[in-house]
Amino acid sequence: MLNETTISRAILDAYFKKLDSCLELDVAIVGGGPSGLVAGYYLAKAGRKVALFERRLSIGGGIWGGGMMFNAIVVQEAGRQLLEEFDLKGSEYAPGYYVLDAVDVTATLIHKAVRAGLQVFNLIAMEDVVIKNERVAGLVINWGAVDTLKWHVDPLTIHARYVIDGTGHPANVTEVLVRKMGVRLNTSTGGIVGEKSMEAEQGELQTVENTREVYPGLYVSGMAANAVFGGYRMGPVFGGMLLSGRKAAEEILAHL
């Protein structure tokens, strides 16, 4: 016979055990979009202690909606090999253009990353960063609902050797760092340059190029990288996002 409080206790015990195990991380990823999921997959696969924090209920970022809510996406030739590693195969619409079901891609990235060992905390928002010796050293977190409603509730803290800002266009982690600490970033202006308008070819190339350490301990990936370094946007073509996540993981692994 099912006991309701046993169900509640099982959920509480499992969740707090997971949270407690993630208070000290190798890498903390903020944002559950494609670059964050791919970075988490490769970091976890390499045996690193990595967790992803997403303020919304669902993870997957902008993939779910495809282009203008038409839930199909395009990946160009450059990203096709990475797709195959995730057992994803698109249909070739035109030479170098592969069309995939957005739901299938999102579900597969989540499944592969979690099975590799990525710990995911949805409904948890980053509200600040931890600074130690002029280096980003972790996250200040709170419930996503608290962040949305702007309630004055004190947060909890996560320590991490590296943080990845995968928060997309707003580049939330980097924005908080610049606004509160007044630091100089590794960009042409020393601040957040801001993304440019649509140019898919350049945007895809720059997404990978701009994926790097923007401040000691802080990497930017995906659209956040283009927002910070001043790259173009690219719309519903996702090869650059996937390759960006892999690059972020590879560079961090080289330093751990």
**Residues 184-209: tens digit of each pLDDT:** 999 999 999 999 999 999 999 999 99
The token pair that represents 21 in the structure block: 């195990």
Task: List pLDDT tens digits, range 154-184.
Answer: 999 999 999 999 999 999 999 999 999 999 9
d(CA 235, CA 173): 22
Tell me the three-class secondary structure of the chain, residue by residue.
CCCHHHHHHHHHHHHHHHHHHCCEEEEEEECCCHHHHHHHHHHHHCCCCEEEEECCCCCCCCCCCCECCECEEEEEHHHHHHHHHCCCCCEEEECCEEEEEHHHHHHHHHHHHHHHCCEEEECEEEEEEEECCCCEEEEEEEEHHHHHHCCCCCCEEEEEEEEEECCCCCCHHHHHHHHHHCCCCCCCCCCCCCCEEECHHHHHHHHHHCCEEEECCEEECHHHHHHHHCCEECCCECHHHHHHHHHHHHHHHHHC
Confidence of residue 32 (pLDDT cuts 50, 70, 90): very high
* Reported confidence tier of residue 51, pLDDT bands at 50, 70, 90: very high
Q: How does the average pLDDT of the chain come out, rounded?
A: 97
What pLDDT score was predicted for residue 124? 98
Cα separation, 242 vs 244, in Å, equals 5
pLDDT of residue 26: 99
Closest by alpha carbon to 223, among 112, 235, 201, 108? 235
pLDDT above 70 covers a percentage of the chain that reads 100
pLDDT of residue 50: 99
Cα 10 → chain centroid: 29
Mean pLDDT of 42-70: 97
pLDDT at 48: 99
Q: Note the pLDDT of residue 54.
A: 98
What is the rounded CA–CA span in Å between residue 11 and residue 18? Answer: 11
- Residue 252: band (very low, low, confident or very high) from pLDDT cuts 50, 70, 90: very high
Write out pLDDT tens, residues 88-143: 989 999 999 999 999 999 999 999 999 999 999 999 999 999 999 999 999 999 99
Q: Which CATH number fits domain 25-68+102-255: 3.30.930.10, 3.50.50.60, 1.10.630.10, 2.40.420.20?
A: 3.50.50.60
State the pLDDT at residue 38. Answer: 99
